[in-house]
Amino acid sequence: MADKLNCIDLFCGCGGLSKGFLDAGYNVLVGVDNNQPALDTFKLNHKGGVPLNADLSKQETFDKIKELSGGNSIDVIIAGPPCQGFSLTGPRNFDDPRNKLYLAVIEMVRQYQPKAFIIENVPGMATLYNGEIKNEILRRFRAMNYNIECKILCAADYGVPQTRKRLIFMGVQSDIGKPKFPNPILSPEDYVTCKDAISDLPSLVDDLGSEESSYSEEPKTEYQKKMRGNCNILHNHVGTRHTQLVIDTISLVPEGGNYKDLPSGWGESRKFHEAWTRYDGNKPSKTIDTGHRNHFHYKWNRVPTIREDARLQSFPDDFIFVGTKTQQNRQVGNAVPPLLGFALGNAIKSIINEAKDGKN
């Protein structure tokens, strides 16, 4: 096996993707974002990883990343750039300034020439303008001597108790190998469910809990044991104080139901697809949101806590979120599930190591 590979995480947020790479044995050198609370969480949970609050569209940021990398080679770049600009500019205006952050990732790969890279985005990008944006991204990287493919992956296939889907671009230097996406480790009938993930956590029926508390019972499932690890303090498990009307409304939604199941006259303020959605304890959760209070616990009449959502995202219990509750919700909801990152990190490591073994 090769020595530890070095990676940097662009648009890292709190570092869900790089947490997966860290667990896969990578050195995470630098995490770049412009959201300071998310960077504070990144710093707390990525020992040795340097957080950098900077504008990725500026060359000075590229130079700073190189400096913070301490002379180490940057073997892998992982990134989750926003793609809102593309929906406005279209394929003919790919280089429009509104796309500067996505273009910065392409430029970063061009300058640093990593062995491989991962770019993740929303599934809708694959079909935007009949796939022309996706095809232009593929074309540009291929012109830079990278073998690159893209695929929509479902997090539940990799042990995450959530049906979150992400579009993943995987690029590998052409003289190293070709992209090979990780095979699913679970089939739909074996998916980790909401109940599998969070049924051991205190109900918070009688009190709202605190930022640091104790587990009230032993783990019930293998997933819960995995998430707890050696952690003996329960972090970020704090309930939300709802009005009685909201509690009463939630109580009328059956497990796995939504606003369509409410009696006439109830929940009239929210009528859209995800409104008043109660999780089904026997299925993975829907995609975790960023705290808009549309999703509810499968059993208790409240929104999930930060820790419950973190479990559903596959963050281990010793991954601590900092900032206000609103900021923490955003960090969890915007993150790539670490177990999906772990699968991708291992896939890339295998490609690079196979190439190295072939040359020895």
> What pairing do the DSSP bridges indicate for beta strands 277-278 and 295-296?
parallel
User: Tokens 């012109």 sit at which residue?
Assistant: 143
Number of H helices and E strands in the chain, helices first, is: 12, 11
The Cα–Cα gap between 13 and 33 comes to 6
The Cα–Cα gap between 175 and 274 comes to 46
Cβ contacts of residue 291 below 8 Å, gap of 6+?
A: 325, 326, 329, 330, 333
Task: Give the chain's largest Cα–Cα span.
Answer: 72
- The one-letter code for the residue type at 166 is R
CB-based contact 307:236 (threshold 8 Å): yes
Query: E-assigned strands of the chain?
Result: 6-10, 27-33, 50-53, 76-79, 116-121, 146-154, 165-173, 209-213, 234-238, 277-278, 295-296
User: Tokens 């490609």 sit at which residue?
Assistant: 351
Q: In 10 A of CB 110, how many CB atoms?
A: 13
Residues carrying an active site annotation: 83
Closest CA to 78 of 120, 34, 49, 42: 120
What tokens does 112 get?
């640093």
CB-based contact 313:16 (threshold 8 Å): yes
User: Tokens 């990144």 sit at which residue?
Assistant: 42
149 strand-pairing partners? 170
